[in-house]
Structure 1
Amino acid sequence: MELNKSLRNDWTKEEVQNIYNQPLLELLYQAATVHREWHNPKEVQVCTLLSVKTGGCPEDCSYCGQAARYQTDIKVQALLPTETVISHAIKAKENGSTRFCMAAAWREVRNNRDFDRIIDMVKGVNELGLEVCCTLGMLTEEQAIRLQEAGLYAYNHNLDTSEEYYDKIISTRNFDNRINTIQHVRKAGISVCSGGIIGLGETTADRVSMLLTLSTMPQHPESVPVNALARVQGTPLEELPKVPIWDMVRMIATARILMPASTVRLSAGRIEMSETEQAWCFMAGANSIFTGEEKTLLVTPNPGVNEDLQMLSNLGLEPKKKEFATSCSN
């Protein structure tokens, strides 16, 4: 397979379908080849995601246990003190994380004291030399600029699913709201983190559509999380089946081929994957995971940092070291 080391933003739906639907081992071979052309295949970026404000969200995302309208066991937690967040970030750095992401269960950012506190958190984590990321819901261009000036490295705002399937999962906002926030982030000079979730009841065509939207953006997201639905009791999607591992592998491999320079993050759902299954995802081009001392990813179970470091060692992989740079490229 001869590779032209250049990025494309003009993929067609038919091309994405053909890549996604090809025989699995051929897809894996192509993705692994692309991965080795663009990245060090031995490196995996270890990231930590902390919920700094939990639950009570007014949105109705069908997969999310933090939506106030669903009866779940998740405890509502007000915005954490800045000192607590910084202590978590220090611990994450000691455990080998190079990116620290702070998540707040908000529909949108509001210009109030809580946002002022988020700004202080961003400044504090940035001073530790970590890539600091936030996921706070929708935000305006002015708010994005304020976050960038505070030292924000990346902003996460997933598409979740395809534009066509979006209103089956969320009714309290629309797909264009997602795109607008991503555009505000990009315009502010912040690195974009945007991917989606599979296992929501979507079709293969929906998965292809979501990948097409991401890969035809004027600039690919620097970070593309691929999540398997973490089924939360009390949410509308709690009875859906576990996502088959080969579906995750197909998504990761296709994302790797379409967006070769991006960091593809193996995100939610790892708690239900064996070490062997995760190895297939790394073979397909995933080069980042989320880990943590509390063994949670936001509010759902996740492998702990010691387990993850042992897994990487078993597979001959190693945590990626921090690259100190002032640009917003990964």
Structure 2
Amino acid sequence: MKTLTELRSLYSQPLLELVAQASDVHRQNRGYGDIQKCALLSIKTGGCPEDCAYCPQSAHYDTPVSRQPLLTVEEVRQAAEQAKAAGATRFCMGAAWRSPPKEGPEFERVLEMIRTVRSLGLEACVTLGMLTPDQARRLKEAGLTAYNHNLDTSRQFYSNIVTTRTYDDRLATLRAVSQAGISVCCGGIIGMGESIDDRLMMLVELSQLQPPPESIPINCLIPIPGTPLEKAPPVSVTELVRLIAVARITFPKSRIRLSAGRDRLSQEAQILCFLAGADSIFYGEKLLTASNPDIQEDEHLLTAIGPIAEKQKNHCGNIA
């Protein structure tokens, strides 16, 4: 477990020294040739009863996102096949629920989606909201690789962003997932008006999880019209790089996922994020509802990184 004082000390180093330290940790534990490409698909869009201030899928706000019912298993199969053909090794599925139905055809359909994705040789990750231990067990039995459930920010700042659930609700789901034997994917969003300490306290919370998260997404807020955060200013690249570097040093064996907001970063900024320890991207023109760099742009990015990354493009990661 890390303390806020320890992470402040890391974060406040001169930037180049911090990145150099993170780079050393990254080389010793993971290596720059292993950049995982993940695909993300919204399998049920909009109409969520939660009031997350950043989310265009919340039913509380009037946003450009329209409601779409749960996809069919065949639609998911086709999307997963396309993602695999493009080089993705993990296929992630998100549904705009507070929590999935405990029983019935929709939850059974999600289980079949997981089995279908796994049958294609891909890792399967879902984010469905809050889970009961029994739901987590059934997801594990279906072959689920990882469950994404972000803390978003610090405990202290959380109520400024979400009021329809508590921080402890989030942690209870993470415990259920971990106890079921599913890898935890858990990170947060920066640029919501939080302080540097809020970002670091989120990492402190993650360091208390046992085992540590298998992967940690670092998202930059994408301001969406109609949400309370639609006018939030962007986060500087150096703040993003510092947080990634501290996350890499704190979690030497976890994947640090450079996630939402990447389409607003230059190629050079993304390369600096990789140097600081990021080793995963979402691959494809769309995240759940937001834009993402297109595949051709990412091919250029991976080519620019060099021969090791080129090798990784053609032989992507291990399937756990």
Q: TM-score range by the shorter chain?
A: over 0.9
Which of 44, 53, 69 lines up with 1:53 in the alignment? Answer: 44
Gaps (5+ residues) in structure 1?
1-9, 326-330
Q: 1:287 aligns with which of 279, 282, 290?
A: 279
Deviation, 1:321, is: 2.0
CA distance in 2, matches of 1:57, 1:12: 34
Q: Residue by residue, what CA displacement relative to the aligned partner does 1:75-105 show, whole Å, maximum 9, x if unpaired?
A: 1110011100110000000000000000000
What does residue 316 of structure 2 align with?
321
Aligned to 1:127: 119
SS in 1 for 2:159: helix
- Matched residues in 2 for 1:207 and 1:128: separation? 37
Shift of 1:260: 0.2
1:63 to 47, 51, 54: 54
In the aligned structure 1, how far is the partner of 2:162 from the partner of 2:259? 21
Residue aligned with 1:264, SS: strand
Equivalent AA in structure 2 for residue 49 of structure 1 = L
In 2, distance between residues paired with 1:68 and 1:261? 37
Query: In the TM superposition, what are the counterparts of 1:1-330 in structure 2 within 5 Å?
Result: 10-111=1-102, 112-292=104-284, 295-316=285-306, 317=309, 318-319=312-313, 321-325=316-320
SS of the equivalent of 2:248 reads helix
Change (3 A) 1:123 1:242: same
Distance 1:321 1:270 in 2: 20
> Which whole-Å CA distance do the structure 1 matches of 2:192 and 2:170 have between them?
18
Q: Deviations over 1:31-88 (max 9, x none)?
A: 0000000012122100001000000000000000000111111111100111001100
- Residue identity over aligned pairs, in percent, reads 51
Q: 1:209, 1:324 → 2: CA distance?
A: 31
Task: Give, in whole Å, the separation in 1 of the partners of 2:319 and 2:273.
Answer: 27
- d(CA) in 2 for partners of 1:173 and 1:145? 22
Q: Which secondary structure does the structure 2 equivalent of 1:296 belong to?
A: coil
> What is the CA–CA distance in structure 2 between the aligned matches of 1:101 and 1:95, rounded to whole Å?
15
Deviation at 1:124, TM superposition (A): 0.4
User: Where in structure 1 do 4 or more consecutive aligned residues deviate above 4 Å?
Assistant: none
Conservation of the 8 A alpha-carbon contact between 2:123 and 2:319:
no
What do residues 135-194 of structure 1 show as CA deviations (whole Å, max 9, x unaligned)? Answer: 000001100000000000000000000000000000000000110000000000001000
Calculate the aligned-residue CA RMSD, in Å: 1.0
Aligned residues: 314
Superposition deviation, residue 324 in structure 1 = 4.0
SS at match of 1:168: coil
Cα gap change, 1:322/1:42 in structure 2, threshold over 3 Å: closer, same or farther? Answer: closer
